[in-house]
Structure 1
Amino acid sequence: MDALAPAYGTGVLLLIAAAAVALLLVLIIVVRLHAFIALVLVSLLTAVAAGIPLATVPEALTSGFSSTLGSVALLVGFGVMLGRLLEATGGAQVLADTLVSRFGEKRAPFALGVAALIFGFPIFFDAGLVVFLPIILTVARRFGGSLLYYALPAAGAFAAMHALVPPHPGPVAAATLLRGDIGVVLLVGLPVALISWYVGVYLFSRWIGARVDVAMPDLLLGQQRDAHGDAPGDATAGTTGDGAGGTATATRTTAPPSFGLVLALLLLPMVLIAGNTVVSTLIQAGVLDSNGFADALILLGQTPVALLITLLVAIATIGRRGRSLAQTTSLIDDALGPICSIILITGAGGMFGGVLRTSGIGEALTSSLGGLGIPLLLQAFLIATALRVAQGSATVALTTAAGLIASQADGLGNLQVALLVVAIAAGATVLSHVNDSGFWLVSRFFGMDVKTTFKTWTVMETTLGLSAFALAALLWPLAGAIT
Structure 2
Amino acid sequence: MNLYLLAITVIAIVIVILGVSWWKWHAFISLTVASLFLAVFSGLPLDSIVDAYETGVGSVLGHLIGILALGTILGKMMSDSGAGMQVADFFVRKFGVKKLPWAMLLSGFIIGIPVFFEVGLVILLPLVISIRKTTKQNILLIGIPVLAGLSIVHGIVPPHPGAMTAIGIYEADMGRVLLYSLLIAFPTAIIGGPIFSKWIHKRVIPEKEPELIRVETKTANALPSTGISFFIILLPVILMALTVIAPYLKFLPGIVKSIILFIGSPVIALLISCFAAYFFLGYRQGMDRKLIKKLTEECLLPLASIILIIGAGGGFKQILIDSGVGDAIAMMSEQISLSPIVFAFLVAGLIRVATGSATVALTTAAGIVSPVVASMSGVNLELLVIATGAGSLMLSHVNDAGFWLVKEYMGLTVKETFKTWTVMETILAFVAFGFTLILDIFV
The residue aligned with 2:60 is 68
How many Å apart are 1:254 and its aligned residue? 6.0
Residue 318 (str. 1) matches residue 318 (str. 2): no
CA distance in 2, matches of 1:120, 1:188: 17
Take 1:413 and 1:472, find their aligned partners in 2: how far apart are those partners? Answer: 18
Cα 1:130/1:265, change in 2 over 3 Å: same
**Higher normalized helix content (fraction of residues):** 2
In the alignment, which residue of structure 1 is the partner of 2:241? 274
Alpha-carbon contact 1:381-1:426 (below 8 Å) kept: yes
Paired AA for residue 366 in structure 2: A
Match of 1:446 in 2: 410
* Matches for 1:132-147 after TM superposition, within 5 Å: 132-147=124-139
Looking at structure 1, the residues matched to 60 and 147 of structure 2 have their Cα atoms a distance apart, in angstroms, of 27
Q: What are the equivalent positions in structure 2 for 1:261-340 lying under 5 Å apart?
A: 261-280=228-247, 282=248, 287=250, 291-320=254-283, 321-340=285-304
Q: Provide the rounded CA distance (Å) in 2 between the counterparts of 1:115 and 1:60.
A: 43
Relative distance call for 1:217 and 1:67 in structure 2 (3 A) is farther
Match of residue 307 from structure 2: 343
Which region of structure 1 is more displaced relative to structure 2, 30-39 or 161-170? 30-39
Could you list the per-position Cα deviations for residues 1-24 of structure 1 after superposition, in whole angstroms to 9, with x for gaps in the alignment? xxxxxxxx1111111011111112
Q: Deviations over 1:85-105 (max 9, x none)?
A: 111111111111111011111
Q: Distance in 2 between matches of 1:19 and 1:220?
A: 45
Q: Aligned in 2, Cα 1:346/1:259: closer, same or farther, shift over 3 Å?
A: same
CA contact (8 A) 1:71 1:173 kept: no
Q: Distance in 2 between matches of 1:157 and 1:207?
A: 17
- Identify the range of structure 1 (265-274 vs 171-180) with the bigger mean alpha-carbon deviation: 265-274
Asked whether the 8 Å contact 2:105–2:190 carries over to 1, the reply is no
Of 14, 17, 25, 1:25 maps to 17
Determine the structure 1 residue equivalent to 2:106.
114
Distance 1:125-1:414 versus aligned 2 partners, 3 A rule: farther
Residue aligning to 2:83:
91
Which runs of 5 or more residues in structure 2 are unaligned? none
Task: Give the structure 2 partner of residue 81 of structure 1.
Answer: 73
Letter of the 1:211 partner, please give it.
Answer: R
TM-score by length of 2: 0.95
Q: Which residue of 27, 31, 34 maps to 2:26?
A: 34
Q: How does 1:166-185 map to 2 (within 5 A)?
A: 166-185=158-177
Which of 361, 377, 380 is residue 325 of structure 2 equivalent to?
A: 361
Residue 409 of structure 1 deviates from its aligned partner by 2.9
Return the alpha-carbon distance in structure 2 between the equivalents of residues 206 and 216 of structure 1. Answer: 20
| Cα deviation code 1:103-131 (max 9, x no counterpart) | 11111121112111111111111222122
Distance 1:440 1:390 in 2: 16
Deviation at 1:201, TM superposition (A): 2.6
Determine helix, strand or coil for the equivalent of 2:204: coil
2:248 maps to 1:256: no
Counterpart contact for 2:129–2:210, Cα < 8 Å? no
1-structure distance, mates of 2:109, 2:378:
25
Deviates most, 136-145 or 468-477: 136-145
**Residue 217 of structure 2 is aligned with which of 204, 226, 229?**
226
1:67 partner amino acid: S
Are residue 460 (structure 1) and residue 424 (structure 2) matched?
Answer: yes
Pair 271,93 (structure 1): closer, same or farther in 2 beyond 3 Å: same
* Deviation (angstroms), 1:367: 3.3
After TM superposition, the structure 1 stretch with the greater mean CA deviation from structure 2, 288-297 or 344-353, is 288-297
Q: What aligned pairs does 1:359-438 form with structure 2 within 5 A after superposition?
A: 359-410=323-374, 416-438=380-402
Cα distance in 2 for residues equivalent to 1:462 and 1:433? 11
Match of 1:197 in 2: 189
Residue 79 to residue 20, structure 1, CA distance change in 2 (3 Å) = same
Cα 1:379–1:264, aligned 2, differ >3 Å: closer, same or farther?
same
Corresponding residue for residue 124 of structure 1: 116
CA distance in 1, matches of 2:364, 2:33: 15
Superposed CA offset, 1:40-65 (max 9, x none): 22212211221112222122101211
Among all aligned residue pairs of Structure 1 and Structure 2, give the percentage whose two residues are the same amino acid.
Answer: 35
Determine the C-alpha separation between the residues in 1 that align with 2:112 and 2:318.
29
Query: Aligned partners of 1:189, 1:427: CA distance in 2, in Å?
Result: 14
The question of whether the paired residues in 2 share the 8 Å contact of 1:146 and 1:215 is answered with no
The aligned residue for residue 155 of structure 1 is: 147
User: Residues 32 and 312 of structure 2 are in contact (CA less than 8 Å); yes or no, is this contact kept in structure 1?
Assistant: yes
SS in 2 for 1:71: helix
Conservation of the 8 A alpha-carbon contact between 1:85 and 1:318: yes
> Which 10-residue stretch deviates more, 304-313 or 125-134?
125-134
CA contact (8 A) 2:154 2:160 kept: yes
SS at match of 1:476: helix
**Aligned position for 2:198:** 206
Provide closer, same or farther for how the CA distance between residues 422 and 201 of structure 1 changes in structure 2, counting only shifts above 3 A.
Answer: same
- Contact 1:423-1:469 within 8 A present in 2 as well: yes
Name the TM-score, length of structure 1 as normaliser: 0.87
1:150-181 superposed Cα distances (whole Å, 9 cap, x missing partner): 11111121111110111111110011000111
Kept after mapping to 2: 8 A contact 1:346/1:396: yes
Aligned counterparts of 1:289 and 1:91: Cα–Cα separation in 2: 35
Is the aligned partner of 1:473 residue 2:437? yes
Decide whether aligned partners of structure 1 residues 255 and 413 sit closer, same or farther in structure 2, where only a CA change above 3 A counts: farther
Look up the SS of the partner of 2:411 in the other structure: coil
Match of 1:237 in 2: none
